[in-house]
Every structure is written in C-alpha cells, then in structure tokens.
C-alpha cells in the first residue's frame, strides 16, 4: 500500500477562539501528557481488553513507548495548528498512517480512542478542563483524526482493499538462520508487490491466546512471496524462532511503509545499524536488478562482523552494482560511522536504526556544508519513538 501524496495537514485549521484556548493550555497539556496517555490506555484497555491482546504491541505498552508516541503526535499536531513557525508534522503523520493500514485500523476505532482520551484529560487536569478547553482539544483530536483517516483511505485504495482485507494467510516456505540472533523467513501467499523498503505486519497467536502483531521489513518479494529477517528480541520474534517451521501458517499483511526508494537519477546513500539493514537490503536488491547503473553508497554499523546478519547478501548486491561503494564499522573495534567521509552531495539518503544512532546521524548530516548536503533524508525507526528524529 503506497501513494505519493502526503497527508493533507494544511487543510486543518482551528477557529480563532479554539486556537487561543489551545495555545493557552498547550503548556499544561504538555506537562501532563504522559500521565494523560497512561490514564487513557488504562481506561481504553479496561473497556476494550481485546485491543491490548490482539492489536497493540504489549511490549511497547509495558515500556511506555506507545504512550509516549501518542503524546508526541497529539502535542506536535496541536503545536502546528497554533504556531505557524512550528514544524509541519506531515512526515510523522505519514508514518503513523502507514503503520495503521498495516494493522487494518478502521475509522470507527478513532472514536474509541477519542472517548477514552478525552476522559483521561478530564481525569488528570480536573477543573482546568472547562467546557471551552474540552471543546478546543476535542477539535484538535478530530482534525488530526480526519487527516489520518483520509490518508489511510487512500492507502487502502492503492491496493484496492478494505481494512479487513489487508491480512492474508501466509505459509512459511523457507526458514534460515542468518546469525545467532537473526532468522530469515520466506512467506508465501496472495500479496501485493512491495516497494523497496516496505514492511509487512506478521500476526501470531501466542500460548496465552493473545494475537500479537509486529512489523518486519521485506528484504525482497513479489505478489506471492515476502522474505523477512527477524531479530529475536521479544515475545513474537522468540515465538517465531522456537515454534514456526516450514509449512506453518501465520497472518501477514499487504506491504506498507513510507521508507521507499524514490524514483529518479539522484545518487543513493543507505545508512543502517544492526537489524536496520533489512530495508536497505531490499533497496539494494531493487537497485541491483532494476537500476544497476545508479550510484550507490551503503554504510552499515554493527557490533561485530559476526553479528552483521546480512553481510553476505549485502556484499554480493554491492558487487553487482557498477558504481557502488560500501563502508562498514564495528563497535567492538571502537569504530563509528563518520558521515563526512562519504559523498552525500545531492543524494537521496535513507537511514534505519535505533534512536541514538539516527539522532547522531541527523546531527552530522545537518552539520555538512551546503555544497556537500544531500537532496533528501528519509528514515525508518524500529520503535514508536520516531518524533525524536523526525
């Protein structure tokens, strides 16, 4: 599922009265937003326990990551509505919309979120939530929801599916250990052709009966096969490693994700850390097969040579591209990525890794002289914390 359009944030406007109220209360809401969202999730899961067991990532909930993600998105959107100098959250909303369609989110579920979020705001802020304040923040929520719902409708329509049709039954036709902690799976089913860099949501039923979903980048695939690489680090990935074998089935969604290779002649610079290599290998595979004359630089950071799960495939792909270079750094050797050593001038740069890694890279890229700066920088983060680098 993919469209070239971005979410239409520019059509979202508050009335002067609502703007004044939101501007005046934004600091108070911001100070309490994490408490508000903790109360919100507690209320919502008490009323709808199936959402925690069958839809939301339980691991992120335990760590508080998902709460912080919601807090950041609502506050960022509200700030943009009342401050013309605030950054446009369009890319953040695009990532949220792609994540939603990969989970089959429906418009009616926004009402569930609204009702419990507004109740949580009242619980936490008490008398500060006058009818005027409640009305203004209600408007903020529905403006943001409207932007997302409309964009998600376009994404579903791009593959001519409804939310209930994004999940397909996938059969595991290959399972291969790539490293001590990473396993590759080939899934066969009735899919759509993925764009280089996209992901699929995999769903499994765990021993306690919960159906948990996780997103995994598609290393390569077509309309009938998705190949994914899974780092064993949580309950779903551990279940896959220990229980899923060739011939078994699982749920997998049609491809989604906004980190895709842009068309054109710009040179391509791919930078990854650890399992962040997965979308980069997908992009490399496409370039090797379809655009082998395009200039490509691949920069990868890992703990060690042994922990780099996709080293063989990456090197083979780089070798098959005429104008391609690779740089590798290993933390156990005291090495780090020095982005200034590479030619980024006018390039499309794609980043994937952890928060600290991406924050450092973004700072290094922004510090480059104008004549050495890339044309565009795009990223994927394997956690809900993308506002930290977006």
Residue 179 has pLDDT above 80, yes or no: yes
How far separated are the first and last CA of the chain, in Å rounded? 22
β-strand partners of 350: 270, 378
Q: Annotate 80-96 with DSSP letters as a single string.
A: HHH-TTSPPTHHHHHHH
Q: How much is the pTM?
A: 0.92
For residues 241-261, average pLDDT: 96
Looking at residue 37, its pLDDT comes to 85
Q: Which of 17, 20, 34, 110 is catalytic?
A: 110
pLDDT at 247 > cutoff 50:
yes
Residues with Cβ within 8 Å of 7's Cβ and at least 6 positions away in sequence, in order, are 90, 93, 94, 97, 147, 148, 150, 151
Give the C-alpha separation, 386 to 390, whole Å. 6
Domains assigned to the chain? 16-158 (1.10.490.10), 166-253 (2.40.30.10), 268-388 (3.40.50.80)
| pLDDT one-digit tens code per residue, 300-344 | 999 999 999 999 999 999 999 999 999 999 999 999 999 999 999
Catalytic residue status for 41: no
For residue 15, the 8-state DSSP code is -
* List 41, 141, 152, 185, catalytic entry: 152
Is 110 labeled as catalytic in the residue annotation?
Answer: yes
Residue-wise DSSP of 319-378: HTSTTEEEEEEEGGGT----GGGS--TT-EEEEEE-HHHHHHHHHHHHTS-GGG--SEEE
Reduced to 3 states (helix: H, G, I; strand: E, B; else coil), residue 256 is strand
* pLDDT tens-place string over residues 137-157: 999 999 999 999 999 999 999
């Amino acid at each position: 599922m993919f469209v070239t359009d971005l979410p239409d944030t520019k059509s979202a406007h508050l009335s002067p009265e609502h703007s004044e109220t939101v501007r005046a209360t934004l600091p108070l809401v911001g100070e309490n937003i994490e408490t508000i969202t903790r109360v919100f999730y507690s209320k919502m899961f008490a009323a709808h326990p199936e959402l925690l067991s069958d839809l939301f990532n339980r691991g992120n909930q335990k760590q508080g990551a998902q709460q912080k993600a919601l807090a950041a998105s609502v506050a960022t959107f509200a700030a943009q509505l009342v401050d013309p100098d605030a950054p446009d959250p369009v890319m953040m909303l695009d990532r949220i919309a792609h994540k939603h369609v990969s989970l089959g989110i429906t418009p009616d579920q926004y009402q569930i979120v609204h009702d419990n979020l507004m109740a949580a705001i009242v619980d936490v802020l008490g008398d500060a939530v006058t009818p005027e304040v409640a009305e203004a923040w209600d408007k903020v929520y529905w403006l943001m929801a409207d932007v997302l719902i409309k964009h998600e409708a376009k994404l579903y329509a791009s593959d001519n599916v409804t939310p209930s049709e994004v999940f397909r039954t996938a059969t595991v036709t290959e399972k291969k250990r790539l490293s001590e902690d990473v396993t590759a799976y080939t899934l066969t089913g009735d899919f759509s052709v993925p764009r280089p860099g996209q992901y699929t949501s995999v769903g499994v039923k765990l021993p306690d009966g919960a159906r948990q979903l996780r997103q995994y980048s598609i290393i390569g695939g077509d309309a009938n096969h998705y190949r994914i690489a899974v780092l064993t680090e949580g309950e779903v990935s551990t279940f896959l490693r220990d229980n899923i074998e060739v011939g078994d089935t699982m749920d997998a969604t049609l491809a989604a994700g906004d980190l895709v290779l842009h068309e054109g002649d710009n040179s391509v610079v791919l930078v990854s850390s650890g399992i962040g290599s997965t979308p980069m290998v997908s992009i490399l595979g496409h370039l090797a097969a379809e655009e082998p004359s395009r200039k490509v630089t691949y920069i990868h950071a890992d703990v060690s040579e042994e922990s780099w799960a996709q080293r063989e495939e990456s090197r083979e792909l780089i070798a098959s591209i005429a104008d391609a270079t690779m740089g590798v750094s290993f933390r156990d050797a005291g090495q780090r990525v020095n982005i200034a050593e590479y030619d980024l001038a006018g390039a499309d740069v794609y980043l994937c890794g952890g928060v600290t890694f991406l924050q450092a890279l973004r700072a290094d890229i922004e510090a480059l002289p104008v004549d050495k700066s890339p044309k565009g920088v795009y990223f994927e983060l394997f956690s809900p914390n993308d506002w930290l680098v977006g």
